[in-house]
């Protein structure tokens, strides 16, 4: 270590490489090449005598999660909106959403015409607060969305009890929780449906893509039709040269099919996911112990029932007065300079996020109840407080060697020691 922070012109703690993301396996290129050299690039293509890759993906992923079925789609947002439409969410309904999450978790609700009702989060997990959910329920409430955030799951026992008692649907946005479990049950399998994103940065990725899981046969059938312009998998014999989708007149849908290339990439990544999750969890355990030792940093505190954690980000919070009282954003800039990898703060809470205002969606500003879409009408003090003191490390940083993990510890130690050099 030097006597100067990298931000102030000193030598950084780490100048080597970090694990890249996405990562390829030994058979990734071969699997993609088989699709490219075949005659079918999507489920809407003609039947070739062999099941589509997306069918195998759906079966394998449902088994991985512990749900009965999976419906692959083109994006994580598509998984959410498909499920919401399959539930029958309609204009004027209210859906309770945590105020600390990516904008799409709430904007998809508005895209159905329903009203996203933002509530605060639990300070220990950064996930939706069940007490805040209970307080926000009105006669118009039809569903609650639990978002499993960064490295923790929402309190599914409490949320399921509320949903049963108040006759509400329970949705899981599990985009960041591939492999997490709650009392042994997979994230995404505990609500009416679970939605996963396969966007570039996710721990299972095809660049873009999404996966909806459910154990409700009616919801699964409606979801298939919603994502397929009203079409679903043919139940009768397939014919070579014809699509294996049958056209029905039951549901108006959209084309949100996933491609066969995406499906091949996800199947390939799914085989490596458990080992990668174990690597991330081991690194996170080391960081929890080492970073918490000085008393100025506080790890996430998951619920006991969250018996297996999956790390989309590793989150650590600054206690009041830590690092000479500098902000988490300033500490993140210093860490980025020391490590050569982007370290950052959480999402901005949705009542102050520049990308989130459903009134900008076509037609919503003209509704009689347009004022209900105004995100500024919701108060989220815990979300703001916790976001302002939280530091996030993206999951590839947890896939390196013990030397990479030690570099993170050393960077925090250096910044702690030289905190007076941090910009005020």
Instruction: Let me know: does 235 contact 246? Beta carbons within 8 Å.
Output: yes
Among the listed residues 343, 345, 348, the one whose alpha carbon sits nearest the alpha carbon of residue 393: 343
SS3 118: strand
Task: Give me the residue spans of the domains in the chain.
Answer: 6-24+272-347+384-421, 28-271
Instruction: Let me know: does 383 contact 100? Beta carbons within 8 Å.
Output: yes
* Host H or E run for residue 335: helix 328-339
Instruction: Let me know: does 148 contact 169? Beta carbons within 8 Å.
Output: no
* Residue 90 C-alpha from the chain's centroid: 24
Count CB atoms within 10 A of the CB of residue 392. Answer: 21
The contacts of residue 43 (CB under 8 Å, 6+ apart) are 52, 54, 55, 228, 243, 244, 245, 257, 258, 260
Residue 2's pLDDT is what? Answer: 55
Instruction: Let me know: does 245 contact 233? Beta carbons within 8 Å.
Output: yes
* Residue 292 C-alpha from the chain's centroid: 26
Instruction: Let me know: does 210 contact 198? Beta carbons within 8 Å.
Output: yes
Axis-axis angle for helices 28-36, 260-291 (nearest 10): 160
Count CB atoms within 10 A of the CB of residue 408. Answer: 27
Residue 424's pLDDT is what? Answer: 87
Residue 1's pLDDT is what? Answer: 46
pLDDT in tens, 383-410: 999 999 999 999 999 999 999 999 999 9
Q: What is the pTM of this model?
A: 0.96
SS3 260: helix
Q: What is the mean pLDDT of each run of 10 residues along the chain (424 residues)?
A: 86 97 97 94 90 95 98 98 97 97 97 96 98 98 98 98 98 98 98 98 98 98 96 87 87 95 98 98 98 96 98 98 97 98 98 96 83 96 98 98 98 97 93
Q: Which two tokens stand for residue 63?
A: 């088994």
Per CATH, the architecture of 6-24+272-347+384-421 is what?
Alpha-Beta Complex (3.90)
Per CATH, the architecture of 28-271 is what?
3-Layer(aba) Sandwich (3.40)
Q: Compute the Cα dihedral for 385, 389, 394, 395 and give only its sign.
A: negative
Among the listed residues 95, 178, 98, the one whose alpha carbon sits nearest the alpha carbon of residue 141: 95
């Amino acid at each position: 270590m030097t006597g100067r922070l990298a931000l102030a012109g000193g030598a950084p703690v780490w100048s080597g490489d970090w694990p890249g993301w996405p990562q390829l396996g030994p058979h990734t290129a071969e699997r993609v090449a088989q699709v490219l050299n075949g005659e079918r690039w999507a489920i809407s293509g003609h039947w070739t005598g062999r099941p589509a890759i997306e069918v195998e993906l759906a079966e394998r992923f449902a088994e991985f999660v512990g749900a009965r079925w999976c419906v692959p789609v083109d994006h994580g947002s598509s998984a959410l909106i498909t499920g919401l439409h399959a539930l029958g969410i309609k204009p004027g309904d209210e859906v309770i959403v945590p105020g600390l999450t990516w904008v799409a978790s709430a904007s998809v609700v508005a895209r159905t015409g329903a009203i996203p009702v933002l509530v605060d989060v639990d300070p220990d997990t950064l996930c939706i607060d069940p007490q805040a959910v209970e307080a926000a329920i009105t006669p118009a409430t039809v569903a609650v969305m639990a978002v499993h955030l960064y490295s923790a799951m929402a309190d599914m026992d409490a949320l399921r009890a509320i949903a049963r008692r108040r006759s509400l649907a329970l949705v899981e946005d599990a985009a960041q929780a591939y492999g997490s479990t709650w009392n042994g049950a997979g994230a995404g399998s505990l609500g009416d449906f679970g939605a996963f994103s396969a966007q570039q940065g996710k721990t299972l990725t095809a660049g873009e893509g999404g996966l909806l899981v459910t154990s409700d046969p009616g919801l699964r059938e409606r979801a298939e039709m919603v994502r397929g312009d009203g079409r679903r998998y043919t139940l009768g014999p397939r014919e070579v040269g014809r699509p294996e989708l049958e056209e029905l007149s039951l549901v108006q849908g959209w084309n949100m099919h996933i491609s066969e290339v995406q499906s091949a990439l996800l199947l390939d990544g799914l085989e490596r996911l458990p080992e990668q999750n174990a690597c991330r969890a081991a690194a996170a355990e080391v960081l929890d112990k080492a970073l918490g030792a000085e008393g100025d940093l506080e790890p996430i505190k998951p619920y006991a029932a969250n018996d297996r954690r999956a790390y989309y980000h590793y989150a650590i919070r600054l206690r009041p007065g830590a690092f000479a009282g500098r902000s988490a954003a300033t500490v993140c800039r210093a860490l980025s300079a020391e490590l050569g990898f982007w370290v950052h703060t959480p999402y901005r809470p949705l009542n102050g996020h520049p990308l989130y205002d459903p009134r900008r969606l076509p037609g919503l500003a003209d509704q009689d109840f347009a004022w209900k879409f105004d995100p500024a009408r919701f108060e989220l003090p815990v979300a703001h407080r916790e976001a302002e003191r939280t530091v996030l490390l993206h999951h590839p940083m947890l896939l390196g060697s013990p030397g990479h993990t030690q570099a993170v510890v050393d960077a925090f130690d250096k910044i702690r020691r030289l905190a007076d050099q941090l910009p005020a």
